[in-house]
Structure 1
Amino acid sequence: MSEFRIGDEHFELDGEPFRILSGALHYFRVHPDLWRDRIRKAKQMGLNTIETYVAWNAHAKRRGEFDLTGALDLGRFLDDVAAEGMHAIVRPGPYICAEWHNGGLPAWLFESGTVGVRRDEPQYLAAVEELFANLAPVLVPRQIDQGGPIILIQIENEYGAYGSDPVYLEKLVAMNRAIGLTVPFTTVDQPTPEMLVDGSLPTLHKTASFGSRSTERLATLRRFQPTGPLMCSEFWDGWFDDWGEHHHTTSTEQSAHDLDELLAAGASVNIYMFHGGTNAGFTNGANDKGVYKPIVTSYDYDAPLDERGDPTEKYWAFREVLAKYGSVPTDAPVVSEPAPAFEARLTASVPLLGALGPLGAFAPHDGVPTMDSLQQYDGFVLYRAEIDVQGEAVFEIDEVRDRAVVLLNGAPVGVLARDHHDRRLTLPADARGTLDLLVEDQGRVDYGERIGEPKGLIGTARLNGEPLLRWEALPLGLDDAAALDGVRALLAPLESTVVAGPAFVRGEFTLEAPTDLFVHTRDWGKGVLWVNGVNLGRYWSRGPQHTLYVPAPVVHAGVNEVLLLELHAASTGVRFVATPDLGHTEF
């Protein structure tokens, strides 16, 4: 057992000065069988600590449930950190941002319509207390003073950019202490006077988040944290991507220079990100500052360790810098061989509208319900109404969150997209029959005032200006393995070389042994990809991302399955390529 404390000048480990050299690695974005590999590579770069957020909504998809198994086994992750001789920083939120859907806050939290998040509000704090109670058996015995790796706990996350409620922060501190956390607590904010004041308390050690102008920003931090060690606990070495934009990269030379400048000033650091991983399934976040921008599936982040876990040019540059300030192991990671490049085919399909039985059941509604009111917190809902119009027909909805494929009698007639602020759509003249809207939650806003907003069709639907009140809604059970088995049973041989969506499409490929793969998606439209039943995330011809990463533990020797939900149109070819294609850059 050891003691870790914040001294007058330094972090101290067993009474000796200790510089934190940390890298961010989110367990919930990396396959658990790859955690040790990524942690070891952090150590090989010269780091001594691993930092992770805790994604509350990943663990608690429904209130009263808390999953700590498999990919969410935080205890196993922290044990892996310890087994590699590393320390740990844990940021349990409750809000994390992290470009993760809803900033980590569970969507069910907002069901009352009266909850006040990220402030001193009883409903919210009662739920947060449940979160910490569930985390206590994992975190408390893994603190450094109990023989574990955890040296720091962060309170909230960049709170000064959101609000100013010291009572709320004090109550979070009290909750964390009440469950038995004894290690030092910190806060993080961007180094502006207002944020540093609003985002912390006099009793909490302030740290900063930035990615450039290190000396200047540390000086600002020092004015508001006059004693103790300086720390940049989010040193931004890259950035995330949005669908429809370019792939973000940062200069390796400049990032290494800024890191060197930071460490030369005597500061500690947490590199955000060391390894980004993947927004698999429906976990990506979004931003909306007037235009809705969903985040892509890859969270590569242009980090030192790429999405596959390979060292990049930035890795070697950072390793060289870190060697000036600490011990770097003599062993170093080896870059992987290119992934296998080969082709397969999609050979069976079924229209989505012909496969609804296994996915759930329609229920009647007066007006259009939100996805949240149906307790469908991600993925898709199919809305259905019967219409009969003579002459011109215009469908209208107050707001769509986030994208609706509109079909009349099973035939696509258009799309309503939130990022285009679409509200109206012309239907064919003399429209009569079944009107379907397949609505996709493309990712919940993770930052700012729109956190927690409901998804689906919002407000009143109208046909030629008249309210359309009789609806049915069917939440698609795409996270249910049995439901997908039911879909597979409905598949029929596919003779064409193209697929007209919305449809499920299946194919197979054969491997001699498990290996990382990259699925090429340029020949497909928009949809979701499963490999061997694992939801690997969204693809979209809009880009910038045009490959999806398949971790080796997802596949096996022999025959493997590819399953798509294609919303528009796709080629039946399945191409696996040697390297990722994350899209064009701005240069």
Structure 2
Amino acid sequence: MSSFTIGETDFLLDGAPYQVIAGALHYFRVHPDQWADRIHKAKLMGLNTIETYVAWNAHEPVRGQWDATDWNDLGRFLDLVAAEGMHAIVRPGPYICAEWHNGGLPVWLTSTPEIGLRRSEPQYIDALSTYIRRVYEIVAPRQIDRGGNVILVQIENEYGAYGNDKEYLRTLTALTRECDITVPLTTVDQPEDQMLEDGSLPELHLTGSFGSRSAERMKTLRAHQPTGPLMCSEFWDGWFDWWGGMHHTTDAAASAADLDTLLAAGASVNIYMFHGGTNYGTTNGANDKGRYAPIVTSYDYDAPLDETGAPTEKFFAFRDVIARYAPVPDEIPAARVSAPAFEAALSSQRAVFTGPVAGEPSDTPSSFEDHSHLGPLMRYEIALPSAAFDASGTALLAFEEVRDMAWVFVDTKFCGRLSRALHERALRIPVGTRLTVLVEDQGRVNYASRLGEPKGLIGAPTLGGVTLTGWMSAPLDVPALAASAASGATGGFGPVSASGSFELEAATDLFLDTDPWGKGFAFVNGFFLGRYWRSGPQRTLYVPASALRAGSNEISIVELEQLSTPVARFVADPDLGHLEE
């Protein structure tokens, strides 16, 4: 058994000063077959610790249906870290941010009526207590003083940027200790006085989150944490991308210099991210600082390991810095090799809308939450009153809000698109008898007051100034739609699903070029790769070898706009988009 404690100036491992040099690696963003490889490469860069968030909504998307297997096998992930001879830091939230949908909080939780998120509210405390106990059943026996490798556990996450409910933090801390967590407990906030004051408790060790001006930020942190080790537990070495933006990168030499400043001062560090991974499926979050900006599928983050697990310039720059302060193995990970480049025809196509929406009508459109729908698409239909149209044969269709994108059809004819990101809420439609609206949830905002906001058509829509009532709505199953393309059924209207096949001599990483398509979702062998959108910046989707096989493989997509090129094109190298000039 070993011990890990906080001393007057340092972390202490078995009583001796210990500098934590960690890297963030989110198990839920990386295929389980790749966990061991990514962990090993972290050790090769000189890291001695792996840090991970725990995503509540990955483990329990439906209330009461807890899953800690396969992609969610946190125990196996921590054991693989231990097998590499490395320590682990666990950050279970329950809120994690992380550019992950809904900040890691389940939709069933955030849509609970009258719930008070991230504060001392009975419904919230009751739900999170069950969650935290389940997580710590996994973590507690793996603590370093039980023969395991977990050395630190974090309470909440950047709470000072959100609230100042000290009773909530005390409740979380007490619950954590009740669950037999005995290692030191930390908090993290940006090194601003108010955030550091609001986001922690005297019995918790404060750490900082920043990516530059390390000496200045450590000084601020030290003013609030006068004893014990300094730690930057989120050293931002890159950034994330959003649709319609650019691909973000940071200068490797500048990042390395700031890392050197931290390590030279004796501070501990967690590099965020060491390996970003991928927002597979529809797990991406979204920003909203006055304009809604959904996060792209890739979470490459310009990290030391790229999205495919290959070392970058930053890997070697950081490795050189770390070698000044800690032992670094001689082994160097191999560079990424170009992937096979080829094309496959999408020979089978099928329209998505092949019949009317069934069910009971409602006065206002139902939300995704009303249907307990966790997928990204909802179809709405309503009869159009002829009296609403003016002499020109048109009328203004207006919504209070669209979350997040809507495609509008009148009598199967496409009439236009409304985008939340562009603050669009109305368009003029031609006379007709039936209105169909397809709405996409493009990603749930992962921070602040918009956590848990409803998705769909919000409020009471009007046509020609008259409220429309009698809405029908139906969730759409995107994986099922993609699989249905093979039927090749004719008729219908709206979006299309399409599929094809290709041969491989052996399973290998691939890069799917989505630039010829418009907007939609892609699958390989039923594995949900994620979203694509010509808006960019991302132009390729990473296809992990673990989703492929030797011999025949299937590719399928659901295209929401125009499938102008019915071909799946695989290219040699990834393209995450244009950079800032």
- CA displacement, residues 71-122 of structure 1 (integer Å, 9 cap, x when unaligned): 1111111111111111100000000000001100111113333111111111
Q: How far apart are 1:435 and its partner, in Å?
A: 1.1
* C-alpha deviation, 1:336, in angstroms: 2.3
Q: 1:381 is matched with which residue?
A: 378
1:116-155 alignment, distance < 5 Å: 116-155=116-155
Query: Over the residues paired in the alignment, what is the CA RMSD in angstroms?
Result: 1.6
Cα distance in 2 between the residues matched to 1:174 and 1:509: 55
Quote the residue 1:16 is aligned against: 16
SS at match of 1:513: coil
Q: Distance in 2 between matches of 1:455 and 1:263?
A: 45
Q: Is the 8 A contact 1:516 1:551 kept in 2?
A: yes
Matched with 1:252 is: 252
State the Cα distance separating 1:363 from its structure 2 match: 4.3
How far residue 409 of structure 1 moved from its aligned partner, in angstroms, is: 2.1
Q: Which residue number in structure 1 is paired with residue 367 of structure 2?
A: 370
1:581 pairs with one of 575, 578, 581: 575
SS at match of 1:583: coil
What is the CA–CA distance in structure 2 between the aligned matches of 1:57 and 1:410, rounded to whole Å? Answer: 36
Q: What are the residue-to-residue correspondences of 1:220-259 with 2, within 5 Å? A: 220-259=220-259
Distance 1:111 1:447 in 2: 15
Deviation digits for residues 451-490 of structure 1 (CA, Å, limit 9, x no counterpart): 11111110001111111111111111235x6x755x2453
Deviates more, 1:109-118 or 1:261-270: 109-118
Residue of structure 2 equivalent to 1:62: 62
Q: Is the 8 A contact 2:478 2:558 kept in 1?
A: no
The answer to whether the aligner puts 1:43 opposite 2:43 as a matched pair is yes
Q: Extract unaligned runs of 5+ from structure 2.
A: none
Whole-Å separation in 1 of the counterparts to 2:384 and 2:475:
21
Shift of 1:500: 8.8
Q: Secondary structure at the match of 2:308?
A: coil
Partner amino acid for 2:186? T
* Secondary structure, aligned partner of 1:242: coil
**Which residue number in structure 1 is paired with residue 559 of structure 2?**
566
What is the aligned counterpart of 2:542 among 544, 549, 554? 549
User: What CA distance in whole angstroms lies between the structure 2 residues aligned with 1:581 and 1:17?
Assistant: 44
Q: How far does residue 432 in structure 1 lie from its aligned partner after superposition? A: 1.7
**Which deviates more from structure 2 when the two are superposed, residues 365-374 or residues 560-569?**
365-374
How far is 1:399 from its partner? 0.4
Contact 2:482 2:556 in 1 (8 A): no
User: Secondary structure of the equivalent of 2:333?
Assistant: coil
The answer to whether the 8 A contact 2:406-2:437 is kept is: yes
> What do residues 360-404 of structure 1 show as CA deviations (whole Å, max 9, x unaligned)?
964432221111111113411101112143422221111010001
- 8 Å contact kept, 2:110–2:451: no
Task: Report the residue type matching 1:381 in the other structure.
Answer: M
Query: Does residue 294 of the first structure (1) align with residue 294 of the second (2)?
Result: yes
Secondary structure of 2:353's aligned partner: helix
Write the distance in 1 (CA, Å) between the matches of 2:92 and 2:61: 16
Q: AA paired with 1:387? A: L
Contact 1:347-1:493 within 8 A present in 2 as well: no
Mapped partners of 2:330, 2:75: distance in 1: 29
Aligned equivalents of 2:358 and 2:348: distance in 1?
A: 24
Name which of 526, 531, 536 aligns with 2:524: 531
| Cα deviation digits, residues 423-473 of structure 1 (max 9, x gap) | 111112xx2232111100000000111111111110001111111111111
TM-score by length of 2: 0.97
- AA in 2 matched with 1:527: G
Using the alignment, how far apart are the partners of 2:112 and 2:137 within structure 1? Answer: 29
Q: From the superposition, tell whether residues 489 and 552 of structure 1 become closer, same or farther in structure 2 (CA, over 3 Å).
A: closer
Tell me the residue number matched to 1:188.
188
Question: Does the aligned pair in 1 maintain the 2:349–2:486 contact within 8 Å?
Answer: no
Pair 1:275 & 2:275 matched: yes
Q: Which amino acid aligns with 1:583?
A: G
Runs of 4+ displaced beyond 6 Å: none
Give matches, 1:76-95, under 5 Å. 76-95=76-95
Aligned partner (choices 414, 420, 425) of residue 423 of structure 1: 425
Does structure 1 residue 115 correspond to structure 2 residue 109? no
Distance across 2 between alignment mates of 1:568 and 1:361: 24
Aligned position for 1:346: 346
Q: Is the 8 A contact 1:402 1:439 kept in 2?
A: yes
Give the secondary-structure state (helix, strand or coil) at the position aligned to 1:559. strand
In structure 2, the residue matched to 1:468 is 468
Which deviations, in whole Å up to 9, do the C-alpha atoms of 1:121-149 show, x marking residues without a partner?
11111010010122132111111111111
- Contact 2:482/2:498 (CA < 8 Å) preserved in 1? no
In the aligned structure 2, how far is the partner of 1:201 from the partner of 1:145? Answer: 24
Residue-by-residue CA offset, 1:11-49 (whole Å, 9 max, x unaligned): 111111111000000000000000000000000000000
Structure 2 residue corresponding to 1:409, chosen from 408, 411, 417: 411
Instruction: Look up the equivalent residue of 2:3 and give its one-letter code.
Output: E
> In the aligned structure 2, how far is the partner of 1:551 from the partner of 1:115?
39
The alpha carbon displacement at 1:531 in A equals: 0.7
Please, which moves more after superposition, 384-393 or 149-158?
384-393
Aligned residue identity for 2:297: T
Rounded Cα–Cα distance in structure 1 between residues aligned with 2:44 and 2:202 = 37
- The alpha-carbon deviation at position 501 of structure 1 amounts to 5.2
1:562 alignment partner, SS class = strand
Letter in 2 for 1:148: G
Partner of 2:533: 540
Partner Cα distance (2:308, 2:9) in 1: 39
Q: 1:108 to 1:209 in 2, by over 3 A?
A: same
User: Matches of 1:553 and 1:256 in 2, distance apart?
Assistant: 33
SS in 2 for 1:502: strand
Amino acid of the structure 1 residue aligned with 2:576: L
* CA shift for structure 1 position 337: 1.3
* 1:489 to 1:331, Cα distance in 2 relative to 1, 3 A: closer
Q: 1 CA distance for matches of 2:359 and 2:574? A: 40
C-alpha distance after superposition, 1:288-310 (max 9, x if no partner) = 11110000000000000000000
Within 1, Cα distance between the matches of 2:359 and 2:7?
A: 61
**Secondary structure, counterpart of 1:349 in structure 2:** strand
The 1-side partners of 2:419 and 2:336 are apart by: 40
SS at match of 2:521: strand
Residues 378-527 of structure 1 correspond to what in structure 2 (within 5 A)? 378-389=375-386, 390=389, 391-428=393-430, 431-479=431-479, 485=483, 487-488=484-485, 490-492=487-489, 502-527=495-520
Structure-1 separation of matches of 2:231 and 2:217: 11
